[in-house]
Structure 1
């Protein structure tokens, strides 16, 4: 059964004060905002609904390409051929043709800055298990699933409208976080505002990200637009020691996208401050143990827990420990046993794993006798209707 323990007022964890957060009323059809410094989710609007991601899905192609470079399967200086299939793409392109052999580094910038549909296809065909863009899309889907992006399926490498090509806003935010944290050597490319690839398209050199030149810490990642998807943006910004990632989709114009994105950055940084919840190793509760050498085990976070709270103080943060118990011995120190669930009022809940604070050995005869006796006593007290 599920056992839920609410903290007593004397527990240090509940000394944190927080007022209700002023919710951001976004015009986007779907949105997700996370402070990745603390892991605090600030906004969740239809964030787990699979939607057409348009060019924002190019981020997955980039992630796979960065992995290939890191693993030595691709190099920045390598030159790749352009197929007739890649050249056939319209929309945002690098204006590549089949006579070109393009450096991988130029293709990456062509995707990030110019949103080149053709550049994505060139990368896809080079890395595909079967040499086709469709094969690469299947590989992208499998890799996304491995990374925890369970609401993402790909039909191509670039977000060109296609049946079944879908991503959720939460998945896009998770992907953005991976790009930032897994590939710090490549991430600065996302902040580049211009790429004049060999001068063949002087009218197509500017990054479409509307935040990069505003001086608000924005340094990525990718815009998207199709008729069906509307206008969207996967963005990130860093101010002082905090970084946020946000995703917007379904806006009705580029202007609305720019206004909404700037407003979200301002709201996320100005309306919240970072607070410590509990430090690693602090026991926050005890959980019942079945057939152990002792009848309970301490629960503690494995690392320091911080969260964001609204700037103005107010009511206490609600917190509870949730686990499935009683827990069966033996238990090793550090085993993940429970979750700490908390949410400043007005924000989505956060869940943090709790681990065993100590070893608990399997009990001997006396421990088993004590457990059975306690179970019988409980049933007698509950009466015939209280069977466990």
Structure 2
């Protein structure tokens, strides 16, 4: 059954656009991944599943596990943690902690988010490690990442310090970012903080390195990264209206390039794509024929609102069809998945959305079965029921 969906019924079926790149975008990043969060549409995937050095972007995994520990009561934000010699010895970006310090968890978390403190990560890691070591925590990070579906992530430390085998893919980093946003809304606003002056001891390291936070384009996170091996990268997110975009880039040659590419991606994601609703929960899309039921058809409806993200230049009209194997055998149960709505927008892969029965259709009684059997017999003889005598 083919349908021509008008604009009202064409813009929101993006429930199935979760694994395909929908449009070309040239980027200088050596690896990139861009996702529309609400619909799951993958806008860009470049070397997205290649395990790469993530630099400080891997600190997001340490933060996720710290937030879990706070939520579960294993840490409190006001608790003060000691600083080991190992943590103090970290170079690079630090909070300048020393072994005489005992630092509140809340300060350590802000020190990781805003200041990218390598030492702060190590302090958190040793506190949560099964054996009290950062290496033990790194093994725990890897195991937890696997549980969360991050199959291309392996951790050697808590902060992204260059180490053999310390790797994450762009897709994994985007998945992690989405978890941070969805699982910890009470903590996520910290990622938008632009400055953190810890104890006045590091006046040269007080500002968030995320270049998008000051641009008024809806950016509110999450983490930059840079090492010589990894280049410059960013796990970013921005929200405009009801839409949120999550993106990851890596392998750029300067902080300037990172800022430019990040801004380009955010602007492109919001300007070139738009979300619409093509059908509402319970709205009749078509009917399916029912075999041996008290009724000979049942309405097919979506089980939830159908939203889809499409290129703005291709939204006027979208072809679609309802596909099912029928007639459907009675009895039919309300909510039973019976068909698919297949939407075929221009220049995009087909989008498939399940349709379900709008109501119960019980099996017919003796009269229905007799009438059906008679109809089948007449059909096989090539005569209509009205021709019988």
**Does TM-score exceed 0.5, indicating one fold?**
yes
In 1, the alpha carbon distance for the partners of 2:134 and 2:364 equals: 58
Matches within 5 A, 1:356-371: none
Q: Distance in 1 between matches of 2:52 and 2:340?
A: 30
TM-aligned CA deviation for residue 300 of structure 1: 4.6
Aligned to 2:216: 215
Report the equivalent of 2:249.
248
* 1:9 alignment partner in structure 2: 3
> For 2:2, what is the secondary structure of its paired residue?
coil
The whole-number CA distance in structure 1 between the counterparts of 2:237 and 2:34 is: 10
**1:3-82 to 2 correspondences below 5 Å:** 8-9=2-3, 16=10, 23-82=24-83
CA distance in 2, matches of 1:228, 1:350: 39
CA RMSD of aligned residues (A): 3.7
Deviations 1:107-141 (A, max 9, x none): 00000001111111111111112222122122222
Where does residue 192 of structure 1 map in the other structure?
Answer: 193
> What secondary structure does 2:237 align onto?
strand
Structure 1: segments with no counterpart, 5+ residues: 1-6, 375-388
SS at the partner of 2:3? coil
Give yes or no for contact 2:11–2:308 (8 Å, CA) kept in 1.
no
Instruction: Report the 3-state secondary structure (helix = DSSP H, G, I; strand = E; otherwise coil) of the residue aligned with 1:109.
Output: helix
SS in 1 for 2:234: strand
The answer on 1:129 being equivalent to 2:123 is: no
Q: Distance in 2 between matches of 1:351 and 1:140?
A: 35
Q: Secondary structure at the match of 1:9?
A: strand
Work out whether residues 42 and 348 of structure 1, in 8 Å CA contact, stay in contact via their aligned partners in 2: no
Match of 2:17 in 1: none
TM-score (norm 1): 0.79
Higher mean displacement: 229-238 or 23-32: 23-32
Seen in structure 2, the aligned counterparts of structure 1 residues 17 and 329 have a Cα distance that, compared at 3 Å, is: closer
TM alignment of 1:228-377, pairs within 5 A? 228-282=229-283, 300-313=301-314, 316-317=317-318, 333-334=334-335, 344-346=345-347
The answer on 1:160 being equivalent to 2:161 is: yes
- Give unpaired runs (5+ residues) of structure 2: 13-20, 377-389
**Counterpart in the other structure of 2:382:** none
Q: Distance in 2 between matches of 1:200 and 1:304?
A: 53
Counterparts of 1:342 and 1:10, CA distance in 2: 10
For the Cα contact (< 8 Å) 1:194–1:205, is it kept in 2? yes
String of CA shifts for 1:298-320, please: whole Å, max 9, x gaps.
76543212122222346754667
What is aligned with 2:100? Answer: 99
Distance verdict in 2 for CA 1:16–1:97, change over 3 Å: same
